[in-house]
Amino acid sequence: MTDYYVGSDHELWTLMIEEEEKLFLESFDKALRSDHLAGPGGRELKRKIDEAIADGRLPQEFRGEAGSHLRKGMIRDLVEAGQRVYPCAASNYCWFRPESALCTQGDYPLLKHCNPGACANSIITRNTSRTGKRSSAIAKA
């Protein structure tokens, strides 16, 4: 998106990279803490987390405020392993895995070609804003 735009301004480039990393972390946290997920990837993620909580591999408070430190550690490990979650829309995220993506550009998704209802990487969260009524209804399904 910003290829060749920043030019040689190293400070601006550094700020953009920091903001991108912050966005990755926030996107991971939204996906991991939500107990209402839809989309093919969202249903699978919810099933795995529910299973881990039921089996005792994750504590009951994992999704709540008390589980924040646990999610941060898990997110740090996932990011270090090269995993990324990209925000596609107000309540749609892409937990990008190139082998199952419908919109790849090498190792990155083409977000403008996102198909949240069909892509195995799509995670739809409940959106509480007024503009998110449709996505909230989808997430309840």
Band (pLDDT 50/70/90 cuts) for residue 135 is: very low
Q: Who contacts 15 (Cβ-Cβ below 8 Å, separation ≥6)?
A: none
Instruction: Write out the residue range of the structural domain in which residue 58 sits.
Output: 10-140
When pLDDT is averaged across residues 38-49 and rounded to a whole number, the result is 92
- Does residue 5 belong to any structural domain of this protein? no
Model confidence band, residue 129 (pLDDT cutoffs 50, 70, 90): very low
Give the mean model confidence (pLDDT) for residues 89-118.
82
Nearest Cα residue to 114 out of 85, 82, 141, 136: 85
Count of domains forming the chain: 1
Whether 2 is covered by a domain: the verdict is no
3-state secondary structure of 124: strand
Q: Is the pLDDT of residue 62 over 90?
A: yes
Of 80, 83, 82, nearest in space to 31 by CA: 83
Q: Identify the DSSP state of 92.
A: E
pLDDT at 133 over 70: no
- Within a domain: residue 66? yes
Distance CA 9, CA 15 (A): 10
With respect to residue 82, please indicate whether it lies within any of the assigned structural domains: yes
Supply the pLDDT for residue 82: 82
Instruction: Judge whether 4 lies within some domain.
Output: no
Is residue 97, in this structure, part of any structural domain at all? yes
pLDDT of residue 5: 60
Q: Assess if residue 3 is contained within a domain.
A: no
**Mean pLDDT, all residues of the chain:** 80
Assess if residue 19 is contained within a domain.
Answer: yes
